[in-house]
């Protein structure tokens, strides 16, 4: 199995707090890896480090063998990395459909020279992007919400829009930051199905999540993080069964 | 009649300035004050080339626009790299610095201004013809900016304004986008500068000071930020209003300060009464490709 994202000997401290303590981790194509651990364990920080939102003190990160160190977040995204955010971070001025369309890769309409001098090319590209965007919206159960504004959408659905936007980006590695927080009922199963399908299409998926049931049902494998360290890696059911880890999780 | 043509030409120039400033500050959310500085670069470039090299306005006006476009990139490259808030400081500094440079260079005519710019088109087609041409040009600029701001490019600009980090996470560079938005807006301001210089045939550094920034900003705010027609309405209204006041037969010592007071009061009143401006933009960005064409069956 091919390793898509590789994190090697990664270290990061904020003042005296170590959020990454010699982290070695790899994400594999077609598999979902769950990151579990108590608040402050460094799970989201690890995503921020991988994406270049935070600079590491030492260590390196590779995507499909390409060294990402020193790249800006948008350069990493171009290499094939995508992420969602704990607090959604959609574009409130845009409709749901436009929020998805903005995720498309290499859109010629976003280059001034193309806009001004080659408008015909835009129209052709627009059609393809629209078809794809509607396909993704349908998969995420958002087909009827395309022209809606985000303010009209319940929080759980906004989370799905966030995932849909990342899917539009055709990344090889997708990092989901608490996709289930605020997602309930029917949306829960949609989210689960969508993430499963993405992984089956060959994408390496990493999930930070506090919903243990979601992690157990979805993830092929899990890692347990505590105080910036990876304490264990294995089947999620084994991690949950480990009393020592459970104690750390609940702080007893 | 000459006076009416003059007002129409000035309105046309301000429509171009306000629309391009709206693109930068409204759609792009980039707080740059230096719009009149790029107006000045276009005006001086077109004026100097026409006077010293005898080139036609058909060439010098586009060169003035290109000059403003390029200068904008050079100025904003370091400012945007640091952070958004530094842009406003850098832009004020650039504007004040540029005025001082214009005042002290020999080629720009110093504080006395650039005079003896040769006439362009007016001897052939008259003021009426020039006014018509400026009006059509202004309309084309407004439509061009609408096309850009309400197409996929405008969508990207809007997303960048909403959340830079999320925008970058989709593989787009917020910095380069900001750079191009500023360059396009500034280039168009430079274009307006050329039209201005070759009509009035005389420009001075004071015409491009911070008061000018205030006027253009007022036009955008009163007219309606992030709309196609708001800056147009604002430019027409705020050019006609001062002319109307002149009919009150007030002494010039009162008239001058009165205009400044009116502009400032208008901004304050609108901020409370109608913050969206006369032509209010909806809360959301609308693509020009909205409607049936967007739907995939």
Q: What secondary structure does DSSP assign to A163-223, as a single string?
A: HHHHHHTT-SEEEEESTTTT--THHHHHHHHHHHHHHHTT-EEEEE-S-HHHHHHH-SEEE
Residue-level pLDDT at B132: 93
In the predicted structure, residue B38 carries a pLDDT above the cut 90: yes
Whether B180 sits inside 8 A of A112 (CB atoms) is yes
Which residues in chain A have their CB less than 8 angstroms from residue B166's CB? 85, 89-91
Question: pLDDT band at B297, cuts 50/70/90?
Answer: very low
Whether A149 sits inside 8 A of B283 (CB atoms) is yes
What contacts A14, CB < 8 A, 6 or more positions away? none
Which percentage of chain B shows pLDDT scores above 70?
Answer: 95
Pairwise CA distance, residues A82 & A71, whole Å: 14
The whole-angstrom distance between A155's CA and the closest CA on chain B is: 17
Residue-level pLDDT at B289: 54
- Kindly report, residue by residue over B253-289, the tens digit of the pLDDT: 877 777 778 878 888 888 888 888 888 777 778 776 5
The whole-angstrom distance between A32's CA and the closest CA on chain B is: 20
- Kindly report, residue by residue over B100-110, the tens digit of the pLDDT: 998 888 888 77
Whether A51 sits inside 8 A of B287 (CB atoms) is no
The whole-angstrom distance between A242's CA and the closest CA on chain B is: 36
Of A83, A91, A127, nearest to B163 by CB-CB distance is A91
Which residues in chain A have their CB less than 8 angstroms from residue B294's CB? 97, 130
Residue-level pLDDT at B291: 42
Pairwise CA distance, residues A23 & A180, whole Å: 25
Question: How do strand A58-63 and strand A3-14 relate by DSSP bridges?
Answer: antiparallel
Q: Which CATH number fits domain A1-80+171-252: 1.25.60.10, 3.30.565.10, 3.40.50.300, 3.40.50.2300?
A: 3.40.50.300
The whole-angstrom distance between A31's CA and the closest CA on chain B is: 22
A206 - beta bridge partners?
A: A33, A175
Q: Where are the domains of chain A?
A: 1-80+171-252, 90-170
In the predicted structure, residue B78 carries a pLDDT above the cut 70: yes
In the predicted structure, residue B36 carries a pLDDT above the cut 90: yes
Whether A94 sits inside 8 A of B156 (CB atoms) is no
Whether A91 sits inside 8 A of B158 (CB atoms) is yes
How far apart, in Å, are the Cα atoms of B24 and each of A157, A181, A201? 33, 37, 41
Of B153, B163, B285, nearest to A89 by CB-CB distance is B163
Residue-level pLDDT at B292: 41
Pairwise CA distance, residues B289 & B291, whole Å: 6
Hey, of B29, B169, B289, which one would you mutate to test binding to chain A, going by the most A CBs within 10 A of its CB?
Answer: B169
For residue A69, the 8-state DSSP code is T
A4-8, B25-29, B53-57, B95-99: lowest mean pLDDT where? B53-57
Residue-level pLDDT at A240: 82
Pairwise CA distance, residues A17 & B133, whole Å: 66
Question: pLDDT band at B82, cuts 50/70/90?
Answer: low
Closest CA to A57 of A21, A5, A7, A6: A21
Pairwise CA distance, residues A4 & A173, whole Å: 7
Whether B171 sits inside 8 A of A74 (CB atoms) is yes
| pLDDT tens sequence for chain A (252 residues) | 688 999 999 999 998 888 988 999 999 999 999 998 888 888 899 999 999 999 999 999 999 989 999 899 999 999 999 999 988 899 999 989 999 999 888 787 788 888 888 878 887 788 888 889 999 999 998 888 888 888 889 888 999 999 999 999 889 999 999 988 888 888 888 999 999 999 999 999 999 988 888 888 889 899 999 888 898 898 888 888 888 888 888 776
Q: If interface means Cβ-Cβ distance under 8 Å, which residues of chain A face chain B?
A: 51, 53, 72-74, 77-78, 82-83, 85, 89-95, 97-99, 101-103, 105, 107, 109-112, 115-116, 122, 126-127, 130-131, 134, 149, 151, 165, 169
Pairwise CA distance, residues A104 & A77, whole Å: 12
**ipTM tops the 0.85 cut:** yes
The whole-angstrom distance between A243's CA and the closest CA on chain B is: 38
Neighbours of B270 (CB within 10 A): 19
Report field, pTM of the whole predicted structure over 0.90: no
Pairwise CA distance, residues A95 & B282, whole Å: 12
Residue-level pLDDT at B290: 46
Contact A15, A3 (CB under 8 A): no
What are phi and psi for residue A66, nearest 5 degrees? Answer: -90, 130
Residue-level pLDDT at B84: 67
Question: How do strand A3-14 and strand A17-28 relate by DSSP bridges?
Answer: antiparallel
Contact A210, A222 (CB under 8 A): no
What contacts A197, CB < 8 A, 6 or more positions away? A139
- Average pLDDT of the residues of chain B: 86
Pairwise CA distance, residues A94 & A106, whole Å: 19
Question: pLDDT band at B211, cuts 50/70/90?
Answer: confident
Hey, of B65, B167, B170, B179, which one would you mutate to test binding to chain A, going by the most A CBs within 10 A of its CB?
Answer: B170
- Closest residue in A to B159 (Cα–Cα): A91
Interface subset of B 140-169, CB within 8 angstroms of A: 147-148, 151-153, 155-156, 158-159, 161-163, 165-169
Of B151, B169, B174, nearest to A83 by CB-CB distance is B169
The length of chain A is 252
**Terminal Cα-to-Cα distance of chain B (whole angstroms):** 56
For residue A110, the 8-state DSSP code is G
């Amino acid at each position: 199995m091919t390793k898509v994202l590789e994190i090697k000997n990664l270290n990061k401290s904020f003042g005296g707090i170590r959020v990454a303590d010699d982290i070695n981790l790899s994400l594999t194509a077609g598999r979902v890896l769950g990151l579990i651990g108590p608040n402050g364990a460094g799970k989201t920080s690890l995503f921020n480090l991988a994406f270049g939102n935070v600079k590491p003190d030492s260590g390196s990160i590779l995507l499909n063998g390409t060294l990402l160190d020193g790249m800006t977040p948008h350069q990493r995204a171009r290499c094939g990395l995508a992420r969602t955010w704990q607090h959604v971070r959609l574009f409130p001025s845009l409709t749901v459909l436009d929020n998805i369309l903005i995720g498309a890769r290499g859109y010629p309409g976003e280059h001034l020279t193309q806009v001004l001098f080659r408008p015909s090319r835009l129209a052709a590209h627009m059609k393809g992007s629209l078809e794809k965007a509607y396909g993704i919206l349908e998969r995420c159960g958002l087909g009827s919400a395309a022209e809606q504004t985000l303010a009209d959408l319940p929080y759980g659905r906004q989370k799905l829009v966030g995932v849909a936007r990342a899917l539009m980006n055709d990344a090889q590695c997708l990092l989901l930051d608490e996709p289930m927080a605020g997602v309930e009922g029917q949306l829960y199963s949609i989210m689960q199905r969508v993430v499963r399908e993405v992984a089956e299409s060959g994408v390496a998926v990493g999930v930070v999540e506090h919903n243990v049931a979601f992690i157990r049902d979805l993830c092929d494998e899990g890692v347990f993080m505590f105080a910036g360290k990876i304490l264990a890696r294995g089947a999620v059911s084994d991690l949950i069964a480990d009393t020592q880890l459970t104690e750390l999780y609940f702080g007893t | 009649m000459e006076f009416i043509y003059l007002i129409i030409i000035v309105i046309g120039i301000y429509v171009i300035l306000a629309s391009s400033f709206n693109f930068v500050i409204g759609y792009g959310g980039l707080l740059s004050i230096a719009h009149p500085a790029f107006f000045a670069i276009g005006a001086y470039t077109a004026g100097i080339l026409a006077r010293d090299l005898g080139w036609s306005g058909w060439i010098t006006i586009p060169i003035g626009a290109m000059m403003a476009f390029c200068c904008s990139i050079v100025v904003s490259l370091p400012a945007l790299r640091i952070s958004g808030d530094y842009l406003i400081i850098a832009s004020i500094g650039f504007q004040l610095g540029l005025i001082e440079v214009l005042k002290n260079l020999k080629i720009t005519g110093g504080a006395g201004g650039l005079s003896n710019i040769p006439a362009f088109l007016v001897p052939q087609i008259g003021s009426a013809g020039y006014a018509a041409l400026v009006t059509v040009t202004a309309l084309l600029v407004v439509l061009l900016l609408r096309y850009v701001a309400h197409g996929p490019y405008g969508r990207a600009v809007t997303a960048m304004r909403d959340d830079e980090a999320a925008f970058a996470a989709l593989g787009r560079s917020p910095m380069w986008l900001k750079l191009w938005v500023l360059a396009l807006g500034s280039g168009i301001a430079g274009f307006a500068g050329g039209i201005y210089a070759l009509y009035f045939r005389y420009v001075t550094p004071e015409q491009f000071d911070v008061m000018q920034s205030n006027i253009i900003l007022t036009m955008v705010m009163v007219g309606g930020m992030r709309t196609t027609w708001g800056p147009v309405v604002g430019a027409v209204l705020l050019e006609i209003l001062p002319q109307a006041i002149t009919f009150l037969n007030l002494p010039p010592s009162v008239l001058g300060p009165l205009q400044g007071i009116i502009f400032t009061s208008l901004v304050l009143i609108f901020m409370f009464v109608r913050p969206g401006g006369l032509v209010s933009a909806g809360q959301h960005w609308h693509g020009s490709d909205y409607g049936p064409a967007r739907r995939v069956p």
